[in-house]
């Protein structure tokens, strides 16, 4: 599966992991040791939001729920976003979190 890089809001890399398509990005990041902040968990706030700087084509923004708020085109809610199951193994995804 795709490699996901998580950055804090200063642009520092805080985690890299091989993703799966079964879990949302926030849960995978937390499992990798990143304290990704999650509040509602259902796509209705901005606590978990990140800017997808690379590989957005491999992200399904509503893989694990519906987006209930307005987002910029490059933003993802990591509590409901997932990596597409057809993402190639060498795909690279970079997400910079707003609240980390």
- Judged by beta carbon, residue 37 or residue 90, the one nearer ligand FES is 37
What's the min distance (Å) between Cβ of 9 and ligand FES?
Answer: 16
43 binding ligand FES? (CB under 6 A): yes
Kindly give, in sequence order, each residue whose CB lies less than 8 Å from that of residue 72, ignoring residues fewer than 6 positions away.
51
Token couple for 23: 């879990």
* E-strand stretches of the chain: 3-7, 13-18, 49-54, 59-60, 75-77, 82-83, 92-97
Question: Binding segment for ligand FES among 11-19, 45-53, 54-62, 86-94 (CB under 6 A)?
Answer: 45-53
Residues of the shown chain interacting with ligand FES in the complex, contacts defined by CB under 6 A: 38-41, 43-45, 47-48, 77, 79
């Amino acid at each position: 599966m795709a490699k996901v890089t998580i950055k804090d809001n200063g642009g520092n890399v805080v985690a890299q992991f091989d993703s799966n398509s079964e879990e949302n990005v926030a849960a995978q990041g937390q499992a990798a040791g990143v304290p990704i902040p999650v509040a509602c968990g259902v796509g209705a706030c901005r606590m978990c939001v990140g800017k997808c700087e690379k590989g957005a084509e491999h992200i399904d923004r509503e893989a694990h729920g519906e987006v209930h708020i307005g987002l910029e085109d490059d933003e993802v809610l990591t509590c409901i976003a997932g990596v597409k199951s057809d993402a190639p193994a060498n795909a690279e995804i970079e997400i910079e979190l707003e609240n980390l």
